[in-house]
Structure 1
Amino acid sequence: MSSIKQYRVASIEDFVGRELGVSDWTVVDQARIDDFARCTGDTQWIHVDVERAKRESPFGGSIAHGYLTLSLLAPLAMDIGVIPQDASAGLNYGLDKVRFMTPVKAGARVRNRVSLLSVERKSGGRVIVKTKNELEIDGEDKPALIAETLAMLIA
């Protein structure tokens, strides 16, 4: 739930250019990486073969899939409260830009820092919002990724 007062569909334009919040830390452990690999079929050794990754990876161990880290944005943004309380729904509408900056090592903690970039009102009480998401890694200077995400709010 957002801690920003007056953050509502009716007043959302007032928040363009502002940080909406920062999520709690979440751990990206090897079990989560393995589950993602099984779910998607992406079983590349750098993700799932821990011993080989320790020996051969330039990162000193296994790393999370880029798309796993990207998939964390939505639930972490929801935890912040990027969907105003008075919206009847908030739907994923797509991505405008994604850059994977730093690999997330197994066991690392990440969090999402979200800012509102733009708001576009549509007919029927729909609102398209664009947010900047920075998935920060605990102890790293650069984020795991930066992504501009789109959501459709339904008032």
Structure 2
Amino acid sequence: MSSLTLAGLGQKVGHELGVSSWVKIDQARIDAFASCTGDHQWIHVDVERSKQESPFRSPIAHGYLTLAMVAPLAMEIGVVPTDAAAGLNYGIDKVRFLAPVPAGARVRLRVVLAGLEPREGGQVIMKTQNTLEVEGSEKPALVAETLALLLPAAGARQ
């Protein structure tokens, strides 16, 4: 359980907020993502062809699938302060896909609080630096600077 509060966020800028558990990105998840998005590129969904023709010798996760893992893993870490009514996706400043995620690999998220921008009514835009690590790989799958709009709960101290 997160112990972050809106009033205490300022002290956490520049510090790691946490690391998620490992999550397996299996072929079933990749196929489900392909079905949801319509991106059925063979390098993701054709297991046999990927084994033969892909430079990775197996299917790999879609880059946007790996990016989509940032939000739920950040929520697992507890990056939304306990006294916030909600944390809403506000945008992404920068994303770089650095290494493939082979089907069957495990990933985890490391989050650093990069900055805060106070807004009217006690709202705050929180910028985080997110690194999605691939188990056994020297390079992360991605790094992303994301923005969340934090809405204070009624009675939250600011």
Give the corresponding residue for 1:123: 120
Query: Of 7, 10, 31, which residue of structure 2 is paired with 1:10?
Result: 7
Aligned to 1:84, the other structure's residue is in SS state: coil
Aligned to 1:10, the other structure's residue is in SS state: coil
Q: What is the distance in 1 between the residues matched to 2:119 and 2:27?
A: 42
C-alpha deviations, 1:63-120, integer Å up to 9, x for none?
0000000000000000000001110110000100000000000000000000000001
Give the corresponding residue for 1:97: 94
Give the corresponding residue for 1:24: 21
Give the corresponding residue for 2:133: 136
Aligned to 2:113, the other structure's residue is in SS state: strand
Give the corresponding residue for 1:150: 147
Letter in 1 for 2:76: D
Aligned to 1:78, the other structure's residue is in SS state: helix
Query: Of 47, 52, 57, which residue of structure 1 is paired with 2:49?
Result: 52
Aligned to 1:88, the other structure's residue is in SS state: strand
Aligned to 1:31, the other structure's residue is in SS state: helix
Letter in 2 for 1:28: I
1:11 deviates by 1.5
| TM score, norm. by length of structure 2 | 0.95
* Alignment RMSD (CA, Å): 0.6
Aligned to 2:84, the other structure's residue is in SS state: coil
5+ residue gaps in structure 2? 153-158
Aligned to 1:64, the other structure's residue is in SS state: coil
Query: Of 43, 49, 61, which residue of structure 1 is paired with 2:40?
Result: 43
Give the corresponding residue for 2:155: none
Query: Of 77, 80, 92, which residue of structure 1 is paired with 2:77?
Result: 80
